[in-house]
Amino acid sequence: MVDAENMKHWRDAGHVARRTLEAIKDEIQAGVKWHDVIESAERYIHRHGGKPAFPCTISVNDIAAHYTTDHLLTAPECWGGEMVFNKGDLVKLDIGVHIHGAIADNALTVEVGNGGQHTEQIKAAIGARDASIEMMHPGTPWHKVGAAAEQVAIDAGFQPIRNLCGHQLELYNLHAGTSVPSYACGSENPGFKGTVTEGSIFAVEPFNTTGDSGLVENITPRNSSNIYRVTGDVSIRKALAKKKLKPLGARLAHYLEERYVTLPFAERWAFPLMEKPFPDENEESRIRKWNALVKKLMNIRFLETYHALRCTDGGMIGQFEHTVWITDGGAEILTIE
């Protein structure tokens, strides 16, 4: 729970996150590379007093979430062309900022070229987000929040995505405890028991689709997002003492934990670490060593990774997101300029 006296960093993070989103959305133009927008967003965050709470993610058309570029600029396996925006693309831009661990998470959807192909879907995604937030008063059952989001999507002719949801935020914890449903999950759904709690902070992010399934699926391979996270469950010192880690692995683990705590980080942020211990190795050799080290850290559960996600039946996906703080009068939106 966060009380009013401790809200400064949360509000500051919200302001930086929103300003970043609004500034960077105009860079999403036909012919622009995904990676250029991603790097521009992350630079903007640093210049304005924040740090990325997770790598900037770009999700185009049927890709739903969790994709950022790696240092080699490798396209997702499901993507056939160049990672360049084309007129008519439906693009989700997701930005997270933290200030001393206080997190703000927000996202929007734009159509490249503003040709009007996706106007109704974009409106429906905004409406679902706002309908959810309207319902978020202390004591409101979570299934009512989800039902409000679904109703907007269905009325507009789209399906809500049922296996993606919003999430509670805590210091240095992007997905903490309670999940926020974005569909009519029903009062008996075991995943969404309980009610909206005063003093808690939530990221509210309904997704919708033009497809029929209302579901997303993993994009292979396991690390297709190019995003990792320190779990916080493993002591580096104990792993070294038990010979589960060699000194180089322990040094890498210590750096990652010190730099990112338990917040998600990009492969392209961490890969340059390999230059110092292996200055004379070529790129191919460094990649092999990086992959071996990451595999070891994942095997001992020091690190975890994520799949990027796409709509199961190829539907176009829309999303809008705000971070809110629950007060006695309802939800206060933190991701405002």
Say if CB 165 and CB 181 are below 8 A apart: yes
**Contacts of residue 20, Cβ cutoff 8 Å, sequence gap at least 6:** 41, 44, 45, 48, 50, 95, 97
Task: Phi first, then psi: give them for residue 98, nearest 5 degrees.
Answer: -130, 150
Cα–Cα distances (Å) from 14 to 20, 91, 292, in that order, read 10, 22, 37
CB 174 within 8 A of CB 227: no
Inter-CA distances, 135 with 124, 181, 204, 328, Å: 17, 12, 11, 13
Name the nearest CA neighbour of 164 among 336, 2, 321.
321
Contacts of 39 (CB under 8 A, 6+ apart): none
The pair of structure tokens assigned to 89 is 């693309």
Residues with catalytic function:
94, 105, 167, 175, 205, 321
CB-CB contact of 169 with 201 (8 Å): yes
Which residues does residue 91 pair with via DSSP β-bridges, in sequence order?
Answer: 60, 110
Identify each DSSP E strand in the chain by its residue range. 51-52, 57-60, 63-65, 90-99, 102-111, 159-160, 166-169, 179-180, 201-204, 207-209, 216-219, 227-230, 265-266, 303-305, 308-311, 317-319, 322-327, 330-333
Q: Which residue has the tokens 């360049």?
A: 84
| CA distance readout (Å), 163 to 13, 31, 63 | 27, 32, 14
- Measured CA to CA, the distance from residue 71 to residue 68 in angstroms comes to 10
